[in-house]
């Protein structure tokens, strides 16, 4: 009997070791421990054993059954472990695999410099003003001391929408609009698009950008204007930047000037960038004409002010050594990605 039990246990264990799935495992259990299983049958045969041998035999059968249960449980665990391993292997994430690159947009070069410009003037206590690009003739010209038939109108090839409405040719109308609305002290910059009916070439475009500056307060002098513009030039072009002011004429400022910076490539020696001059013109400026103050409702005996206007494109072209203005508007990503 004992040998028979041991033989059954050995056979069961051998079958178990070949088991691959939970279902096969169940089959083995039924084969040995089920209602008609081999071990169950032997247990039923106990009643034919002599009464004095029964306890020992029963104990033996229990031991074998317990050993088989243990083996079944171990194999069941093994099957589960293998299934989990296979599942994990199938879901492996290769963290070293390069990702799909996302193309992220970049700031347009005009905005790169404009943002720097704003940053500088906001830091100096200026605020930003915005106004319409479709403008009344009154704001674009007349209130800036450029009446109808004034020769200065000829220098600004204007897009007329009607006799009294134009596409603004400059950001200077924002001076008038600001002074009409606000009482001094006034301290604004007004960046924006302007339009002139110029033929397109490497340095001309019918659409470009200007930044207007206006300060009106008591006791504002030419020295305030020079000081703030020199400070601005040094912040934008570097601390060692040298500036100069040349007398000029604008109808809406008196006196008027243009500001040059010493060529940042040749430092004044003369090179193709500055056309041999050693200086690069940056902006026009001047003291606000008393007539302009008066037309905007500001008492010119009490207040004075200065204004300046800068061409954004020219500033950016100098800064990044761009030699064709058309590149700004073509939106060629090969160009835009360089900034
Ligand atoms: Zn130069």
- Rounded mean pLDDT, 128-151: 89
Looking at the chain, the whole-number percentage of residues with pLDDT higher than 90 is 41
Q: Which CATH architecture has domain 109-336?
A: 2-Layer Sandwich (3.30)
pLDDT above 90: residue 307: yes
Relative to beta strand 160-162, strand 165-167 is antiparallel
| C-alpha 262 – ligand 1 centre gap (Å) | 8
pLDDT above 90: residue 105: no
- Rounded mean pLDDT, 245-263: 93
| C-alpha 320 – ligand 1 centre gap (Å) | 14
Q: Is there a contact between 113 and 324 (Cβ–Cβ < 8 Å)? A: no
CA dist list (Å): 308 to 168, 175, 293: 17, 10, 15
CA angle 86, 90, 95 (to 5 degrees): 125
| C-alpha 9 – ligand 1 centre gap (Å) | 100
Q: Read off the pLDDT of residues 162-176 as tens digits, 9 standing for 90 and up.
A: 989 999 999 999 999
Answer with the residue of higher pLDDT: 187 or 48: 187
Q: Mean pLDDT, the chain, as a whole number?
A: 89
The per-residue pLDDT for 35 is 87
pLDDT above 90: residue 18: no
User: d(Cα 92, Cα 191) in Å, to the nearest integer?
Assistant: 55
User: d(Cα 228, Cα 206) in Å, to the nearest integer?
Assistant: 30
The per-residue pLDDT for 309 is 94
CA nearest 117: which of 17, 8, 211?
211
Q: Is there a contact between 1 and 46 (Cβ–Cβ < 8 Å)? A: no
| C-alpha 270 – ligand 1 centre gap (Å) | 4
Which pTM was predicted? 0.67
| C-alpha 99 – ligand 1 centre gap (Å) | 46
| C-alpha 310 – ligand 1 centre gap (Å) | 20
The per-residue pLDDT for 124 is 92
**Residue partners of 188: CB distance under 8 A and separation at least 6:** 126, 127, 128, 129, 174, 178, 212, 213, 214
| C-alpha 68 – ligand 1 centre gap (Å) | 96
| C-alpha 185 – ligand 1 centre gap (Å) | 39
Answer with the residue of higher pLDDT: 92 or 310: 310
pLDDT bin (cut points 50, 70, 90) of residue 298 is very high
């Amino acid at each position: 009997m004992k040998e028979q039990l041991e033989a059954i246990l050995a056979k069961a264990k051998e079958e178990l070791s070949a088991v691959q799935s939970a279902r096969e495992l169940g089959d083995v259990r039924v084969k040995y421990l089920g209602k008609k299983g081999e071990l169950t049958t032997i247990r039923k045969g106990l009643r034919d054993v002599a009464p004095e041998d029964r306890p020992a035999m029963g104990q033996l059968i229990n031991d074998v059954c317990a050993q088989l249960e243990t083996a079944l449980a171990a194999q069941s665990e093994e099957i589960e472990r293998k299934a989990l391993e296979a599942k994990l292997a199938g879901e492996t994430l290769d963290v070293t695999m390069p990702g799909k690159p996302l193309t992220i947009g970049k700031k347009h070069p005009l905005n790169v410099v404009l943002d720097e410009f704003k940053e500088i003037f906001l830091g100096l206590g200026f605020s930003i003003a915005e106004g319409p690009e479709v403008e009344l003739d009154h704001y674009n010209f007349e209130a800036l001391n450029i009446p109808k038939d004034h020769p200065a109108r000829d220098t600004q090839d204007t897009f007329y929408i009607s006799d009294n409405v134009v596409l603004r040719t400059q950001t200077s109308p924002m001076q008038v609009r600001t002074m009409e609305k606000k009482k001094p002290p006034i301290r604004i910059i007004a960046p924006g698009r302007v339009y002139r009916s110029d033929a397109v070439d490497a340095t001309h475009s019918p659409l470009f950008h200007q930044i207007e500056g206006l300060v009106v307060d008591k006791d504002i002098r030419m020295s305030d204007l020079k000081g703030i513009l020199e400070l601005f030039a040094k912040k934008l072009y570097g601390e060692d930047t040298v500036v100069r002011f040349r007398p000029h004429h604008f109808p809406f400022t008196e006196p008027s000037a243009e500001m040059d910076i010493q060529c940042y490539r040749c430092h004044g020696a003369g090179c193709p960038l500055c056309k041999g001059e050693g200086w690069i013109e940056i902006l026009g400026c001047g003291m606000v004409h008393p007539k302009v103050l008066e037309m905007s409702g500001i008492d010119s005996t009490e207040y004075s002010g200065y204004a300046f206007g800068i061409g954004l494109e020219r500033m950016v072209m100098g800064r990044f050594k761009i030699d064709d203005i058309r590149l700004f508007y073509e939106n060629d990503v090969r160009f835009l990605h360089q900034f």
